[in-house]
Amino acid sequence: MAAAIAGVFQPEMQNLIKESKVLLVGAGGIGCEVLKNLVLTGFSELEIIDLDTIEVSNLNRQFLFNKESVGKAKSHVAKTSVLKFNPNVNITSHLGDIMDTKYGVAFFNKFKLVINALDNKKARSHVNRMCLSCDIPLIESGTMGYSGQVEFIKKGVSLCYECLPKSEPKSYPMCTIRNTPKEPIHCIVWAKFLFGQLFGESDEDVSVDQTVYDGTETKVSARQWAEIIEYDPKKLLEKIFYDDIKYLLSMESMYTGKKVKPVLLEPSFFETEVVEYRHVLDSEVLTLEQCKSMFLDCIVSIKQKLDICQNKSLVWDKDDDDFMNFVVSSSNIRSAIFNIPLKSHFDIKSLAGNIIPAIATANAIIAGQIVIHALRILSGKYERCQSVFLRELPNHKGQILVKDKFLQKPNPKCMVCSTDGEIVLSIDINNITVKQFEELILKKKLNMVAPDVLVDGRMIISSDEDDELDLYEKTLAEAGVNHGSRFSVDDYFQNYSIKIMLQHKEKAQEEDPDFEIFGNLEELNTAEKNNEAEPEENDEDCLIEKDESCVERVDDDLSTSDEQAHDMVTDKKQEDDSVIKEDMMDSDPEVIKVDQEISNEEILAMKRKADEASEDINEAKKSRVD
Partner 1 sequence: MASEITNNGNGEMSKEERKVYDRQIRLWGYDGQKKLREIKVLLIGMQGLGAEIAKNLILSGVNSITLKDHTEVSILDCCSQFLIPRDSQERNRAKASMSAAQKLNPNVKVIVDTTPIEQNVDSFVTSFDIVIATECSPTTYKRLSELCRKAKVKLFIADVYGLFGYFFQDVNFKHNLYGEVFLDNDKIYTDSLPAKIPRPYFLTSALLKFQSESNRKPNPDTCEEDVEELKSIVNPILDQLNIGNNIFDEYYGELFCELSPTTSIIGAMVSQTAIKNAMDKPIEKYNVFFYDHIEHEGQFHLL
Is residue 22 involved in binding partner 1 (CB under 8 A)? Answer: no
**What is the DSSP code (8-state) at residue 408?**
P
CA pair distance 342, 334, nearest whole angstrom: 9
Specify the 3-state DSSP secondary structure of 568: helix
Which element (helix H / strand E) includes 31? helix 29-41
CA pair distance 574, 472, nearest whole angstrom: 43
Site string for partner 1, 446-485 (x = CB under 8 A): ----------------------------------------
Q: Which of 361, 430, 525, 531 binds partner 1 (CB under 8 A)?
A: 361
H helices present in 488-578, as ranges: 521-533, 566-571
CB of 589 to partner 1, least distance (A): 25
Identity of the residue, 63 or 242, whose beta carbon is nearer to partner 1 in the bound complex: 63
Specify the 3-state DSSP secondary structure of 231: coil
Which element (helix H / strand E) includes 620? helix 619-623
**Options 201-209, 248-256, 502-510, 601-609: segment touching partner 1 (CB under 8 A):** 601-609
CA angle 151, 155, 157 (to 5 degrees): 70
Contacts to partner 1 from residues 63-102, by CB under 8 A: 63, 66-67, 82, 84-87
* CA pseudo-torsion sign 623, 374, 492, 412: negative
Distances 610 to 42, 358, 448, 603, 621 between C-alpha atoms, Å:
44, 18, 41, 10, 11
Is residue 60 involved in binding partner 1 (CB under 8 A)? Answer: yes
Is residue 375 involved in binding partner 1 (CB under 8 A)? Answer: yes
List the beta strands (DSSP E) in 440-521. 451-455, 458-461, 486-491, 496-504, 515-518
> What is the phi/psi pair of residue 370, to 5°?
-60, -45
Is residue 249 involved in binding partner 1 (CB under 8 A)? Answer: no
Q: Which of 216, 256, 268, 283 binds partner 1 (CB under 8 A)?
A: 283
Q: Which of 18, 155, 235, 384 binds partner 1 (CB under 8 A)?
A: 384
Identity of the residue, 63 or 472, whose beta carbon is nearer to partner 1 in the bound complex: 63
CA pair distance 377, 407, nearest whole angstrom: 13
**Options 132-140, 169-177, 348-356, 519-527: segment touching partner 1 (CB under 8 A):** 348-356
Pick from 196, 197, 201, 228: nearest CA to 212? 228
Is residue 2 involved in binding partner 1 (CB under 8 A)? Answer: yes
- Provide the CA 66 distance to its chain's centre, in angstroms: 26
322 close to 302: Cβ distance less than 8 angstroms: yes
Identity of the residue, 30 or 132, whose beta carbon is nearer to partner 1 in the bound complex: 30
Contacts to partner 1 from residues 128-157, by CB under 8 A: 145-146
Distances 386 to 61, 93, 572 between C-alpha atoms, Å:
27, 30, 13
Radius of gyration, alpha carbons of the chain: 26
CB of 13 to partner 1, least distance (A): 8
Is residue 399 involved in binding partner 1 (CB under 8 A)? Answer: yes
CA pair distance 380, 111, nearest whole angstrom: 15
Catalytic residue at 175?
yes
**Options 110-118, 357-365, 409-417, 491-499: segment touching partner 1 (CB under 8 A):** 357-365
Identity of the residue, 84 or 102, whose beta carbon is nearer to partner 1 in the bound complex: 84
**What is the DSSP code (8-state) at residue 266?**
P
CB of 48 to partner 1, least distance (A): 16
Q: Show binding-site residues for ATP.
A: 26-31, 50, 58-61, 74, 119-124
Is residue 61 involved in binding partner 1 (CB under 8 A)? Answer: yes
CB of 153 to partner 1, least distance (A): 16
CB of 585 to partner 1, least distance (A): 20
Contacts to partner 1 from residues 569-598, by CB under 8 A: none
CB of 542 to partner 1, least distance (A): 32
131 close to 137: Cβ distance less than 8 angstroms: yes
Neighbouring-strand partners of residue 21: 45
Is residue 403 involved in binding partner 1 (CB under 8 A)? Answer: yes
Is residue 5 involved in binding partner 1 (CB under 8 A)? Answer: yes
Q: Given 32, 131, 134, 175, which residue is catalytic?
A: 175
CA pair distance 505, 483, nearest whole angstrom: 8
CB of 625 to partner 1, least distance (A): 12
Give the binding-site size for partner 1 (rule: CB under 8 A). Answer: 73
89 close to 1: Cβ distance less than 8 angstroms: yes
Q: Which of 175, 400, 544, 584 binds partner 1 (CB under 8 A)?
A: 400
**Type of residue at 417:** C
Is residue 40 involved in binding partner 1 (CB under 8 A)? Answer: yes
Neighbouring-strand partners of residue 611: none
CA pair distance 173, 186, nearest whole angstrom: 9
CA angle 569, 359, 129 (to 5 degrees): 40
CB of 418 to partner 1, least distance (A): 27
Specify the 3-state DSSP secondary structure of 379: coil
Q: Show binding-site residues.
A: 26-31, 50, 58-61, 74, 119-124, 160, 163, 414, 417
Pick from 57, 60, 62, 65: nearest CA to 81? 65
**Type of residue at 388:** V
CB of 220 to partner 1, least distance (A): 39
Is residue 360 involved in binding partner 1 (CB under 8 A)? Answer: yes
Identity of the residue, 189 or 364, whose beta carbon is nearer to partner 1 in the bound complex: 364
Identity of the residue, 283 or 419, whose beta carbon is nearer to partner 1 in the bound complex: 283
Q: Show binding-site residues for Zn(2+).
A: 160, 163, 414, 417
**Type of residue at 325:** N
Site string for partner 1, 602-621 (x = CB under 8 A): --xx--xx-xx--x---x--
Identity of the residue, 353 or 421, whose beta carbon is nearer to partner 1 in the bound complex: 353
**Options 8-16, 201-209, 223-231, 542-550: segment touching partner 1 (CB under 8 A):** 8-16
CB of 86 to partner 1, least distance (A): 7
Q: Which of 25, 28, 37, 193 binds partner 1 (CB under 8 A)?
A: 37
The set of catalytic residues is 175
